[in-house]
C-alpha cells in the first residue's frame, strides 16, 4: 500500500487539534471521574475526545488500524496504525493543571513515523514525521545543544515511579548531576525538549500510547528518544528524550546505579 507521509502528518495534526477542542470544553469544569480496572482515572473528556478521533480516522482512512488508550484496538493487523492518547496527564487535567496534552502517533509497518504532541490550553503543538521534519506551531523546531549533564535542565513526571520500577538509586544520582530539575512533565516535558526549552525528559513508565508520538517528534527535532536500555522504541515501557550528546551519560547512570 502506498503511503503519503505528508498527508498523514497533516491528518495527525488535525486529529490532535480535534481532541484538544473536545477536552477544552470540559477543562476546569465539573465532571465525573471514573476509576478504570488498573485504578487509573478516566473522564468523559478522555472518552469523548477519543471517540471523535477514531470516527475521523475510520471515515478518512478506513483501511488503517487504531490503538487507543480508552477503546482498544481496531483493525490491528493493518500496516498503518494510529496510536491515540486523548489526554496524556489525566490526573493533571482533573486538577485543572494546564499542561495536559493530546497525543497522536502513527506507525507504518510497525515503525513510528508520525507524532503530534498538542497542549491545547497552552496553544502549543509540536509535530514530527519522517521525511517532513519537526514543527512547533508551524515553524521548524530543533532541540538545543547540550553536551554536559552539569549544564542540563531535566524534567520528569511522578518521581515515585522511579522507585516503583527499580530506578530509585539511578534517579537520585542523576539529580546530583543535572543543573536544574522540575517535575510535572508527562508528554509536555517531551514537548519542552523538542522545542529547545529543556534538555532531558525522563519517564520511568510509558504505555504504547504515551510513547508513540514522542519518538518521531524528538528524532525529527534532532534529539534522541530511547528506553532506559538505549533502544529507540515505543514499547519499552519507559523512555527519555534528550540531546544526543547526553544519551550515553544518561544510560551509564541507569546501568551502573541500579
pLDDT tens string 63-84 = 999 999 999 899 989 999 999 9
Res 31: pLDDT: 84
Q: What is the mean pLDDT of the chain?
A: 95
CB 122, CB 27: distance < 8 Å: no
Mean pLDDT of 195-203: 97
Give the pTM. Answer: 0.96
pLDDT at 37: 73
Distance CA 66, CA 144 (A): 33
Q: Which pLDDT does position 41 carry in this prediction?
A: 81
Q: Write phi, then psi, for 75 (nearest 5 degrees).
A: 50, 50
Q: Which residues pair with 180 in a beta bridge?
A: 153
Average pLDDT over residues 116-138: 97
**200-203 and 239-242 strand pairing:** antiparallel
Distances (CA, A) of 127 to 18, 65, 68, 137, 190: 15, 20, 19, 8, 11
pLDDT of residue 40: 78
The predicted structure's pLDDT at residue 1: 56
Read off the pLDDT band of 33 (50, 70, 90): confident
**pLDDT at residue number 192:** 97
Q: Which domains does the chain have, with CATH numbers?
A: 5-140 (3.30.540.10), 149-256 (3.40.190.80)
Do the Cβ atoms of 247 and 140 come closer than 8 Å?
no
- Interatomic CA distance for residues 68 and 58, integer angstroms: 13
pLDDT of 39 > 70? The answer is: no
Predicted confidence (pLDDT) per residue in 236-249, tens digit: 999 999 999 999 99
Give, rounded to a whole angstrom, the gap between the first and last alpha carbons of the chain. Answer: 45
pLDDT tens-digit readout, 136-193: 998 999 999 999 999 999 999 888 889 999 999 999 999 999 999 998 789 999 999 9
Q: 206 is written with which cell numbers?
A: 510509558
Amino acid at each position: 500500500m502506498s503511503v503519503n507521509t505528508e498527508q498523514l502528518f497533516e491528518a495527525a495534526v488535525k486529529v490532535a487539534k480535534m481532541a484538544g477542542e473536545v477536552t477544552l470544553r470540559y477543562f476546569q469544569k465539573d465532571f465525573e471521574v471514573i476509576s478504570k480496572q488498573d485504578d487509573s482515572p478516566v473522564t468523559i473528556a478522555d472518552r469523548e475526545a477519543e471517540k471523535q478521533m477514531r470516527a475521523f480516522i475510520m471515515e478518512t482512512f478506513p483501511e488503517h488500524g487504531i490503538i487507543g488508550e480508552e477503546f482498544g484496538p481496531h483493525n490491528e493487523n493493518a500496516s498503518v496504525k494510529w496510536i491515540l492518547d486523548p489526554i496524556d496527564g489525566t490526573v493533571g487535567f482533573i486538577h485543572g493543571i494546564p499542561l495536559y496534552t493530546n497525543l497522536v502517533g502513527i506507525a507504518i509497518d510497525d515503525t513510528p513515523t508520525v507524532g503530534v504532541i498538542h497542549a491545547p490550553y497552552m496553544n502549543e503543538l509540536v509535530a514530527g514525521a519522517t521525511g517532513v521534519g519537526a514543527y512547533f506551531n508551524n515553524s521548524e523546531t530543533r532541540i538545543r545543544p547540550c553536551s554536559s549533564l552539569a549544564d542540563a535542565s531535566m524534567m520528569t513526571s511522578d518521581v515515585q515511579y522511579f522507585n516503583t520500577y527499580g530506578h530509585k538509586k539511578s534517579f537520585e544520582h542523576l539529580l546530583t548531576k543535572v543543573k536544574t530539575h522540575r517535575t510535572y512533565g508527562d508528554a509536555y516535558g517531551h514537548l519542552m525538549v523538542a522545542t529547545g526549552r529543556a534538555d532531558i525528559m525522563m519517564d520511568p513508565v510509558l504505555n504504547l500510547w504515551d510513547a508513540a508520538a514522542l519518538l518521531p517528534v524528538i528524532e525529527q527535532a534532532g534529539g534522541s528518544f530511547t528506553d532506559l536500555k538505549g533502544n529507540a522504541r515505543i514499547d519499552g515501557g519507559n523512555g527519555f528524550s534528550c540531546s544526543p550528546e547526553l544519551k550515553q551519560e544518561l544510560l551509564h547512570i541507569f546501568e551502573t546505579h541500579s
